[in-house]
Amino acid sequence: MKAPLISIDKSKCKICYACVRACPVNAIQVKVNQEAPVVNNDRCIGCGSCLLVCAPQAITYRDSCEDVKQLLASDQKVVAIVAPSISGEFDDITDYRKFVRMIRELGFSHVNEVSFGVDLVAAEYRELFTNFLGKYYITTNCPPIVALIEKFHPDLIGNLAPIVSPMIASAQISRQLYGKEVKVVYIGPCIGAKEEALRYEGDARVDAVLTFVELRQLFTEFNIKESTVEYSDFDPPLGYKGSLYAVSNGILQAARLDEDLMQGSVITSEGKVNILESIREFETSIDFIRKHFNLFYCEGCLMGPGTSKGGKKYVRKTLVTDYANKKLKNFNLDTWEKACANHARLTDFRASFAENDQRLPKPSEEKVEEILKIIGKSSNEDKLGCGACGYESCREFAENVAKGLTKTDMCITYSLRSKHDFIRTLKLTNEKLAKTQEALMESERSARQEQLAVQEAFERTSTMLQKLPSAVVIVDENLKVIESNQSFINILGEEAEEINEIIPGLVGADLKTLLPFQFYKLFSGVLSTNESVVNRDVHLGERLLNVSVFAIKKGKIAGAVLRDMYLPEVRKEEVIHRVSEVIDENFELVQKIAFLLGEGAAKTEQMLNSIIESHKAAKK
């Protein structure tokens, strides 16, 4: 199975959609949710318009170099049949006989001109157009024209001239000259010829089609240069005015058909825009026009997509006509006429064409109007279109969107409007982000100030903690020291002093290794119950410590204050404190006793007064 004629390399594609706009039949599509264009090869007519506009060269056509090299490496004879436009392609070669020799150097057994095949085909057209029977025809020498009508204007298939192209006629002539088993390679400017070659079998078959660009690649690969080869002419039979075939009306001159504007019966049209209009008018107005149409998709075969890029049309045209004049100066007309008569008798010029309708159903008016509204084309003036999308009107564009052949983003005005809306939204978003960023920076400044304040407070607290005469220690839920002061370290003794020199404040030390069980049991109890322990006397060796443990963060952090009761200043302070507590307690007790005694005396007095009053009342 052959590879597709046209392929797009997504890694090279710049998503410019120039190819989409250039394709005359919408064979290159941009699908929804897909950026890179894709080729619908069923719709492709092989015109090569996409190749000519693709700046990054992401689009390529089916390569035939390997096929040709395999044919040349086989034991069979291989004939090259060369299109007349080769003289316009190789403007860098001083004499055409040099490129004929260069072709032979590749390994071809014979090199023949297609221009002789043009002469025979031209005679067929002369007979068809001269013996007019009321039917007007479109020439079938250009493969893209034939494909365009078969796929998109199938109603005109009956108007295609039933004559093979010069390439097919030349393939038959080659087998008449060199045998039926010979292999034939066509060298020309048209990539559509690669597809046309697949239509024919038997004597009319073409085994491979090389473009001029591919021919140059083979010359480079095999290091074949003009400076290293001698002259060599084409093998006979040589073509006559068929050498002018590279120019669009060249076949009419070869057929000796009248091109007079008043008396001529054939209209010649070339180029994509002219061709599309010509076919539309042939389809709608041929009964009024009353002419045969000689159509070539390119501006002459000398500007085909298989030629080198950058070629100048009129320079190439001059090279073609100069070559024809030079060759015909000493041309043997009698030999040519005999060859024409001989080969015309053996060649089958009949061609048939088949409908391959690729037209899509027309979408509903509602759908089209919906798409027009989406792209902002509501008024009739809006619907005229700028043509930048590749369609003649906005309506035609909307219809093809509805058919699934393109998407709304292909509309430049719609895309620009969407882009401006996006930019506007992005600007607003950026403004909001800037404000948010400013607020965050302010919040960060405030947080930094708070952090500094906390740090200062912590340093002050830590300094105060170190100044306290009482021992202080703070631990976490795992009884690991978070902070302690020097008084606490002094209570623990020399071993703790040594650890403090390495780890200030004994941070991270395990309280269970520093104090005996009865101490850290107090911490565990406070952490689990969140209830403080106040003024608990606990012995540590020969020392009596007064311990108060309190919760700082429930279940997470606890602190303790420890006082050595045997220190003179602590003992004096504690004796005074405790005597004061005893006095306060006794004073409170005395107050309660006095209150009770007073309350009892009042009740006694009240009772006695009541008895006296009762006795007085009895005497009366």
Residue matched to tokens 């070629």: 311
Percent of the chain with pLDDT over 70: 85
User: Hey, what's the torsion of the CAs at 579, 581, 584, 585, to 10 degrees?
Assistant: -110
Checking 402-406 for CB contacts under 8 A at 24+ apart, the result is 402/363, 402/364, 402/367, 402/368, 402/371, 403/360, 403/361, 403/363, 404/29, 404/31, 404/360, 405/26, 405/29, 405/360, 406/20, 406/26, 406/29, 406/30
Partner residues linked to 384 by β-bridges = none
How many CB atoms sit inside 10 A of residue 24's CB?
18
Alpha carbon distance 98, 84 (integer Å): 15
- Residue pLDDT, tens place only, 563-579: 877 776 655 555 455 54
Higher pLDDT, 570 or 420: 420
Alpha helix stretches (DSSP H) within 515-567: 517-529
Query: Which residues fall within 8 angstroms of residue 539, CB to CB, at 6 or more apart?
Result: 545
Helix (H), strand (E), coil (C) string for 228-250: HCCCCCCECCCCCHHHHCCCCCH
Strands 28-29 and 59-61, bridge-based pairing: unpaired
CA dihedral sign of residues 387, 392, 393, 395: negative
Alpha carbon distance 80, 83 (integer Å): 10
pLDDT of residue 329: 87
- Residue pLDDT, tens place only, 458-510: 666 667 677 777 888 888 988 888 888 888 888 888 787 888 888 887 888 88
Partner residues linked to 560 by β-bridges = 473, 549
Contact 194, 62 (CB under 8 A): yes
- Measuring CA to CA, how many Å separate 469 from each of 167, 472, 566? 114, 9, 13
- Residue pLDDT, tens place only, 519-570: 778 888 888 888 888 888 888 777 788 888 888 888 888 888 888 777 766 5
Contact 216, 189 (CB under 8 A): no
Query: Which residues fall within 8 angstroms of residue 77, CB to CB, at 6 or more apart?
Result: 109, 110, 178, 179, 181, 182, 183
pLDDT of residue 382: 53
Alpha carbon distance 372, 379 (integer Å): 9
Domain 1-61, CATH 3.30.70.20 — does that match?
Answer: yes
- Residue pLDDT, tens place only, 145-203: 999 999 999 999 999 999 999 999 999 999 999 999 999 999 999 999 999 999 999 99
Higher pLDDT, 329 or 278: 278
User: Hey, what's the torsion of the CAs at 234, 235, 238, 239, to 10 degrees?
Assistant: -60
Instruction: At 49, list the tokens.
Output: 């318009």
- Residue pLDDT, tens place only, 110-129: 999 999 999 999 999 999 99
pLDDT of residue 593: 47
Q: Which CATH class is domain 469-565?
A: alpha beta
pLDDT of residue 462: 67
> Is 597 exposed, middle or buried (CB count within 10 Å of its CB: 0-12, 13-18, 19+)?
exposed
Alpha carbon distance 432, 413 (integer Å): 28
Residue type at position 185: V
- Residue pLDDT, tens place only, 203-244: 999 999 999 999 999 999 999 998 899 999 999 999 999 999
pLDDT of residue 585: 55
Alpha carbon distance 113, 243 (integer Å): 9
Helix (H) or strand (E) holding 47: none
- Residue pLDDT, tens place only, 333-384: 999 999 999 999 999 999 999 999 998 888 777 787 777 777 777 655 555 5
> Is 172 exposed, middle or buried (CB count within 10 Å of its CB: 0-12, 13-18, 19+)?
buried
Alpha carbon distance 371, 405 (integer Å): 13
- Determine the Cα angle at 447 with ends 441 and 449, to 5°: 105
Is the model's pLDDT at 594 over the cut of 50?
no
- Residue pLDDT, tens place only, 39-71: 999 999 999 999 999 999 999 999 999 999 999
pLDDT band at 433 (very low <50, low <70, confident <90, very high): confident
How many CB atoms sit inside 10 A of residue 162's CB?
14
Nearest Cα residue to 89 out of 319, 264, 271: 319
Q: Please measure the distance between the N-terminal and C-terminal CA atoms of the chain and give it in whole angstroms.
A: 150
- Measuring CA to CA, how many Å separate 572 from each of 97, 493, 517, 566, 579? 130, 23, 29, 10, 11
Helix axes 143-152, 272-289, angle to 10 degrees: 70
φ/ψ of 403, rounded to 5, equals: -80, -10
Q: Which of 80-94, 241-255, 336-350, 450-464 has the lowest mean pLDDT?
A: 450-464
Contact 153, 131 (CB under 8 A): no
Partner residues linked to 110 by β-bridges = 79
Residue matched to tokens 């700046």: 55
Instruction: At 107, list the tokens.
Output: 């390994």
Contact 482, 557 (CB under 8 A): yes
User: What count of residues does the chain have?
Assistant: 620
φ/ψ of 425, rounded to 5, equals: -65, -40
Residue type at position 261: L
Furthest CA-CA distance within the chain: 190
